[in-house]
């Protein structure tokens, strides 16, 4: 039997784990481009807690649900509109005024390319803050616990063994999502047009391309169709690969967490404040006095171990005495 | 099921006691020091220093800056005009939890150790100063016209004797607030003669332990496991419904706790 044995029940472990788990904001910023569309996502989540701890035999436990809360979700869209060549046609020909002359052009509208840049429109910033409460992120995983000596304490750290981040879904319980998304896109388009003075060029291009408004163009280019919800989840999950991004964030955040901190060396008594006059036979050098505080006698922790069985986490260690 | 369980073995406690004996000997050595004259170059007494006279040297030496002895007051004897130095040294301290397997109990305590009981064996060395006749009649030392009034008898050695004490006890939980204490089941001092003297001393010791020392001794068995794990904002309480909690069994002290999280 080890010198010291401590056991923690599954229920207490879950409560403690859930208490240490909440994180500050975990921001991320990812982007992808596809077929002329630059798609960026800036967001922030935080881990709110844990639910459903299940001890496994050995040094791992299964977690049914890591509670993820979304704090920010902003899309950035940039478009590479196909180049439109305008101009290059003749406004006035010589034979229009001098019929006997040749039909040489005397006044040609200058030829120019519209939308020749890599990103012609954008970034349009679509703030999806109003929908973050609809975003559902289900995370489960298997975690390992191990004692690690670090900075004067024996820490029982939680390590990721495997994390499953389900594809992000959007629960549109009240059917409000399409309206919110469309409003956000319209707002982003309007804001962009307002903020970019050569709006006539956009109107001109839209006319050439056959779209009555920038919003219509966006909806067409984005291939949003009728199902905004499906479109958004596809982009978040597939094109951006947000589940992988979240897994990385969660792994890093969880690795910083310590379940239990056992002082090592382990104090056998508290520090003792003493009046020098009340003691004698000091080993040199004698403290100058009149009072001194003796450090706590402490023993190193040796042979630490942490194991689970079906119901309990068992922590055991010996004292290096 | 309890939220938290903790156990410590008697072997660990015995090693802790040995470790503290070496690292914090002042917990085990209580001394009323004698005096030692301090002289000037001409051999005149210019003052007195403590002379920590004991029966057994503290070995090994403690770590730097750590004292060997804790001061206790000198004792007086009626008719003797000066206080007497003395020393009480706990030479060895050993615990044994049920089932008793490291301490052989004396016949008077009727072994083997009963369930849920602990045994304790302490070897205590007492040292008392002998009073030479001249200390009673001689005038106080005088130097430079100053008469020194000595608070304690200057001696260079003590009359020493060693006694072995066995104690059997168990844990009790009582109000208020589930305080865990110790209750004495038996005490035996070995080989004091005549038997009447032994019984009288044991009687006084039991009365002193039961009346003064044990009531003040509260074991923080609820708090220690929680602090050991570094848990905060948690209120521990003894789990109910267990036959013995805390328990002394399988050579260890066990406690089961429920945790109320803030």
User: Which of A19-33, A105-119, B157-171 shows the lowest mean pLDDT across its residues?
Assistant: A105-119
A159: left (phi over 0), alpha (psi -120 to 50) or beta: beta
Mean pLDDT for chain B overall: 90
A294-312 average pLDDT score? 93
B30 alpha-carbon distance from chain centroid: 9
**Higher local confidence (pLDDT), A305 or A92:** A305
**B111 neighbors B101 (Cβ within 8 angstroms):** no
pLDDT at residue A199 is higher than 60: no
Reported as a pLDDT band with limits 50, 70 and 90, residue B137 is low
pLDDT at residue A126 is higher than 90: no
Write down the H helix ranges in chain A: 10-20, 94-97, 177-195, 199-209, 214-221, 228-234, 242-255
Domain ranges of chain B: 4-261
Q: Can the peptide bond before residue A306 be classed as cis, meaning omega within 30 degrees of 0?
A: no
**B90 neighbors B26 (Cβ within 8 angstroms):** no
Reported as a pLDDT band with limits 50, 70 and 90, residue B226 is very high
| Rounded-to-integer distance, Cα B227 and Cα B181, Å | 20
**B84 neighbors B129 (Cβ within 8 angstroms):** yes
Q: How far is CA A53 from CA A56, A248, A317, B15, in A?
A: 10, 21, 24, 38
pLDDT exceeding 90 applies to what percent of chain A? Answer: 33
B139: phi then psi, degrees, rounded to nearest 5: -70, 160
| Rounded-to-integer distance, Cα A306 and Cα A285, Å | 42
The SS3 assignment for B221 reads coil
Residue of B230, B233, B246 for testing the chain A interface, max A β-carbons within 10 Å: B230
Q: Which of A21-25, A162-166, B18-22 has the highest mean pLDDT?
A: B18-22
What are the DSSP E strand ranges found in A80-137? Answer: 84-86, 90-93, 105-108, 112-114, 121-127, 135-136
**So what's the ipTM on this one?**
0.88
* pLDDT tens digit sequence for B195-220: 898 889 889 988 888 888 888 788 88
User: Which residue does chain A place closest to B61, by CA atoms?
Assistant: A283
- pLDDT value at residue B129: 92
Window A:10-69, CB contacts with B under 8 Å: 11-12, 15-16, 19
* pLDDT tens digit sequence for A261-281: 999 999 999 899 999 999 999
Q: Which of B131, B56, B119, B123 is nearest to B93 (CA)?
A: B123
**DSSP notation for A286-300:** PP-SSEEEEPPPEEE
- pLDDT value at residue A301: 95
Using the beta-carbon criterion (under 8 Å), do B66 and A283 form an inter-chain contact? yes
**Higher local confidence (pLDDT), B221 or A183:** B221
| Rounded-to-integer distance, Cα A249 and Cα A256, Å | 11
Using the beta-carbon criterion (under 8 Å), do B71 and A279 form an inter-chain contact? yes
B28 alpha-carbon distance from chain centroid: 6
pLDDT exceeding 70 applies to what percent of chain A? Answer: 83
Cβ neighbours of B59 in A, within 8 Å: none
- pLDDT value at residue A127: 85
A116-125 average pLDDT score? 70
User: Which residues on neighbouring strands pair with residue B4, listed in sequence order?
Assistant: A8, B257
- Give chain A's radius of gyration (CA, Å): 33
**Close Cβ partners of A248 (under 8 Å, ≥ 6 residues apart):** none
pLDDT at residue B253 is higher than 60: yes
pLDDT at residue A125 is higher than 90: no
User: Which of A216-230, B93-107, B246-260 shows the lowest mean pLDDT across its residues?
Assistant: A216-230
Residue of B65, B245, B258 for testing the chain A interface, max A β-carbons within 10 Å: B65
| Rounded-to-integer distance, Cα B78 and Cα B83, Å | 10
Reported as a pLDDT band with limits 50, 70 and 90, residue B145 is low
A295-307 average pLDDT score? 93
pLDDT at residue B12 is higher than 60: yes
Mean pLDDT for chain A overall: 83
Interface check A3 vs B, CB under 8 A? yes
Tokens matching residue B173 = 């939980």
**B225 neighbors B216 (Cβ within 8 angstroms):** no
Which contiguous run of DSSP H or E holds residue B14?
helix B10-23
Cβ neighbours of A7 in B, within 8 Å: 4-6
The SS3 assignment for A89 reads coil
Q: Which of B95, B124, B189, B13 is nearest to A4 (CA)?
A: B13
Cβ neighbours of B259 in A, within 8 Å: 12, 15
Distance from CA of A285 to the nearest CA of B (A): 5
| Rounded-to-integer distance, Cα A160 and Cα A143, Å | 5
- pLDDT value at residue A117: 65
| Rounded-to-integer distance, Cα B34 and Cα B52, Å | 6
**Higher local confidence (pLDDT), A79 or B165:** B165
DSSP character for A58? B
Tokens matching residue A306 = 């942490």
The SS3 assignment for A270 reads coil
Tokens 């020091």 -> residue? B33
pLDDT at residue A197 is higher than 60: no
A185: phi then psi, degrees, rounded to nearest 5: -70, -45
SS (H, E, C) B80-146: CCCEECEEEEEEEEEEEECCCCCCCCCHHHCCCCCCCCEEEEEEEEEEECCCCHHHHHCCCCEECCE
Reported as a pLDDT band with limits 50, 70 and 90, residue A115 is low
Reported as a pLDDT band with limits 50, 70 and 90, residue A91 is confident
A230-236 average pLDDT score? 82
Reported as a pLDDT band with limits 50, 70 and 90, residue A109 is confident
Distance from CA of A249 to the nearest CA of B (A): 26
| Rounded-to-integer distance, Cα A232 and Cα A178, Å | 10
Using the beta-carbon criterion (under 8 Å), do B252 and A1 form an inter-chain contact? yes
| Rounded-to-integer distance, Cα A276 and Cα A282, Å | 9
**Higher local confidence (pLDDT), A34 or A247:** A247
Tokens matching residue B198 = 């032994």
**B61 neighbors A283 (Cβ within 8 angstroms):** yes
The SS3 assignment for A127 reads strand
**B7 neighbors A315 (Cβ within 8 angstroms):** no
C-alpha atoms less than 13 angstroms from C-alpha of A43 in its C-beta half-sphere: 25
């Amino acid at each position: 039997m080890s010198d010291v044995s401590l056991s923690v029940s599954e229920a207490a472990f879950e409560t403690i784990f859930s208490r240490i788990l909440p994180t500050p904001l975990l921001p991320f910023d990812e982007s992808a481009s596809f077929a002329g569309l630059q798609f960026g996502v800036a967001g922030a989540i935080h881990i709110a807690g844990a639910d459903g701890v299940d001890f496994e035999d050995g040094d791992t436990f299964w977690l049914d649900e890591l509670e993820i809360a979304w704090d920010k979700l902003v899309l950035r869209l940039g478009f590479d509109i196909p180049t439109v060549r305008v101009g290059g046609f003749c406004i006035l020909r010589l034979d229009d005024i001098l019929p006997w002359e040749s039909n040489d052009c005397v006044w040609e509208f200058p030829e120019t390319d519209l939308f020749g840049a890599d990103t012609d429109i954008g970034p349009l910033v679509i703030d999806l803050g109003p929908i973050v409460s609809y975003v559902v992120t289900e995370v489960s995983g298997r975690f390992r616990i191990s004692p690690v000596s670090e900075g004067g304490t024996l820490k029982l750290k939680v390590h990721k063994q495997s994390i499953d981040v389900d594809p992000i879904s959007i629960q549109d319980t009240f059917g409000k999502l399409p309206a919110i998304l469309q409003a956000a896109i319209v707002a982003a388009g309007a804001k962009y047009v307002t903020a970019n003075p050569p709006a006539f060029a956009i109107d001109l291009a839209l006319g050439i391309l056959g779209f009555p408004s920038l919003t219509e163009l966006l909806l067409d280019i984005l291939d949003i169709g009728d199902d905004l919800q499906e479109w958004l989840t596809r982009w978040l999950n597939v094109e951006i690969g947000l589940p992988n991004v979240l897994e990385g964030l969660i792994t890093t955040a969880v690795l910083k967490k310590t379940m239990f901190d056992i002082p090592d060396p382990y104090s056998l008594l508290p520090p003792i404040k003493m009046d020098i006059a009340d003691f004698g036979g000091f080993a040199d050098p004698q403290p100058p006095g009149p009072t001194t505080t003796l450090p706590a006698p402490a023993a190193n922790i040796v042979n630490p171990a942490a194991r689970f069985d079906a119901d309990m986490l068992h922590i055991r260690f010996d004292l290096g005495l | 099921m309890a939220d938290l369980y903790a156990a410590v073995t008697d072997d660990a406690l015995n090693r802790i006691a040995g470790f503290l004996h070496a690292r914090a000997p002042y917990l085990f050595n209580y001394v009323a020091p004698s005096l030692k004259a301090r002289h000037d170059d001409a051999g005149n007494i210019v003052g007195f220093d403590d002379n920590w006279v004991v029966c057994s040297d503290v070995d090994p030496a403690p770590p730097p800056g750590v004292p060997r002895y804790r001061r206790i007051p000198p004792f007086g004897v009626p008719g003797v005009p000066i206080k007497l130095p003395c020393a009480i040294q706990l030479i060895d301290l050993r615990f044994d939890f049920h089932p008793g397997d490291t301490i052989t109990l004396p016949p008077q305590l009727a072994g083997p150790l009963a369930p849920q009981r602990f045994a304790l064996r302490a070897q205590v060395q007492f040292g008392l100063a002998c009073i030479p006749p001249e200390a009673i009649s001689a005038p106080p030392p005088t130097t430079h016209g100053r008469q020194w009034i000595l608070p304690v008898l200057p001696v260079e050695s003590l009359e020493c004797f060693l006694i072995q004490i066995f104690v059997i006890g168990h844990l009790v939980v009582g109000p208020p607030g589930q305080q865990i204490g110790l209750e004495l089941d038996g005490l035996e001092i070995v080989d004091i003669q005549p038997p009447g003297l032994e019984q009288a001393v044991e009687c006084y010791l039991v009365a002193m332990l039961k009346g003064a020392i044990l009531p003040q001794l509260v074991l923080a068995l609820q708090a220690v496991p929680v602090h050991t794990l570094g848990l905060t904002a948690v209120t521990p309480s003894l789990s109910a419904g267990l036959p013995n909690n805390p328990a002394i069994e399988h050579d260890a002290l066990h406690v089961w706790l429920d945790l109320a999280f803030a």
